[in-house]
């Protein structure tokens, strides 16, 4: 079945450091891939998405490229800020009419000034 494997955290970085959060997936079809961000006590917000192979999703300095050959969708940011501290979830939609998302475990990111 469809699933997402996400690197475990927590990840602690200094401001302006480079961020990578790894995400790999398993899917029977051609999934769409997403990164969501959750700030403390809040729901999830869509950060970026990619719907087909080689697409690059980007938003707020974050980027992720849909790599079919490695079944990956790693999240990167060149220079993190304190305000980026949150939990990040990788997710996929397998393309079925059921429409559910499959989430990774989430990675807690803490950025220190």
Per CB under 8 A, the list member of 1, 29, 43, 113 interacting with another protein is: 43
Least distance to another protein, CB of residue 63, Å: 19
60 near another protein (CB under 8 A): no
> DSSP code of 102?
E
CB of 82 to another protein, least distance (A): 20
**SS3 state at 78:** coil
Asked whether position 106 contacts another protein by CB under 8 A, the answer is: yes
Q: Which range in 13-21, 57-65, 73-81, 92-100 contacts another protein by CB under 8 A?
A: 92-100
All residues at 6 or more sequence positions from 41 whose CB lies less than 8 Å from its CB, including other chains:
none
If binding is defined by CB under 8 A, does position 89 make contact with another protein?
yes
- The three-state secondary structure class of 84 is helix
Residues found in the chain: 113
The size of the interface with another protein (CB under 8 A), counted in residues, is 23
**Widest CA span of the chain, in angstroms?**
45
**113 scored as a contact of another protein (CB under 8 A):** no
How far, in Å, CA of 68 to CA of 53, rounded? Answer: 6
Q: Look at residues 14, 29, 21 and name the one whose alpha carbon lies nearest to residue 87.
A: 21
Binding site for another protein (CB under 8 A): 32, 34, 36, 41-46, 49, 51, 89, 93, 97-101, 103-106, 108
């Amino acid at each position: 079945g469809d699933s997402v494997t996400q690197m475990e955290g927590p990840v602690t970085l200094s401001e302006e450091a480079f961020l990578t959060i790894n995400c790999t997936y398993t899917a029977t079809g051609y999934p769409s891939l997403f990164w969501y961000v959750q700030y403390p006590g809040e729901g999830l917000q869509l950060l970026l998405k990619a719907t087909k192979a080689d697409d690059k999703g980007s938003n707020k300095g974050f980027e992720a490229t849909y790599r079919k050959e490695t079944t990956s969708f790693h999240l990167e940011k060149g220079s993190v800020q304190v305000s980026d501290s949150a939990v990040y979830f990788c997710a996929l939609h397998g393309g079925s009419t059921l429409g559910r998302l499959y989430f990774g475990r989430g990675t807690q990111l803490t950025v220190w000034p």
